[in-house]
Amino acid sequence: MQTSGFTIHYLTTVDSTNNYAARPEIQPKLQHKAVIMTDHQTEGKGQYGNKWESVKGKNLLISIYLKPNLAVKDQFLLNCVAALAIKDTVSYFLSVSSSIKWPNDIFVNHAKIAGILIENSIFGSNINRSIIGIGININQTEFDTGSYNSFKLISNKENDINRVLEYLLFRFSIYYDQIDEPNSNLHKEFDSHLYGKDELRIFKSSEDTGFQAKITGTTVDGKLILSLENGEVRTFNHKEVFFS
């Protein structure tokens, strides 16, 4: 398998690949660009303290461990790298267009096909270590809750998880290298693929029961930028605004 400079650490089962990579006794064994991969998580984690459920052996479950040379103020770029790499992977294997539902879900046909959970550790004003957890629904076809999609639901066939990983790491390494480029388009490209961009939608926040606005992009630190009908522009952090 081509791993584009990443080292794969495979575990048959683990509580969560993100938790594993964060363990103090494991950390010294991990180098920059280590990938923890498993078939089965007993306590897979999603965003906002949610669980990430995945049928054993059916999906791609990884954590990419990085020691980036990155200022905290630029940490959203890691989000852009992961989301764009997944988006490209979905297009490559399935020939469908996908979009990035802010902050970091990948959607195909209004249903989630992949999620990202990034856990950074910070030292001073830099990112000391980043654990980028990625779950991509590959061969699972039934989901308990919500609106989910998978490679198999779209292609009607079993997909090789290792081939998906190989391509994902290839795209990830290309985008990751762009972080250091002075005029990198990473953020712009992320914005251009936002789910619902420039469409008038209903948003809900803790202060408002509902208001109409359009997504126009994201700020440098990853807040969602909404343009309201009255011309007002508002920005929101994760968890501060919801839309479907």
- Which residues would be at the binding site for ligand BTN (CB under 6 A)? 16-18, 41, 44-47, 50, 52, 61-63, 105, 115-117, 133-135
The answer to whether the beta carbons of residues 114 and 137 sit under 8 Å apart is yes
Residue 3 or 47 having the CB closest to ligand BTN: 47
Residue number with CB closer to ligand BTN (50 or 244)? 50
- Smallest gap from Cβ 228 to ligand BTN, in A, equals 27
Residue in the shown chain whose Cβ atom is closest to ligand BTN = 115
Minimal distance in Å, beta carbon 131 to ligand BTN?
Answer: 8
Query: DSSP label at 8?
Result: E
Q: What share of the chain is helix, strand, coil (3-state, %, to 5)?
A: 25, 35, 40
Q: Token pair for residue 228? A: 């309201």
What is the C-alpha separation between 242 and 244, in angstroms, rounded?
7
Residue that is written with structure tokens 């997504």 in the block: 215
Taking the complex as a whole, how short is the minimal distance between the CB of residue 124 and ligand BTN, in angstroms?
A: 27
Q: Find the shortest distance in angstroms from Cβ 6 to ligand BTN.
A: 15
Q: How far is the CB of 65 from ligand BTN (least distance, A)?
A: 11
State whether residue 37 is helix, strand or coil: strand
Q: Identify whether 68 is preceded by a cis peptide bond (ω within 30 of 0).
A: no
Nearer to ligand BTN, 68 or 115 (CB): 115
As a whole number of angstroms, the distance between CA 103 and CA 81 comes to 13
Residue placing its CB nearer to ligand BTN in the complex, 85 or 213 = 85
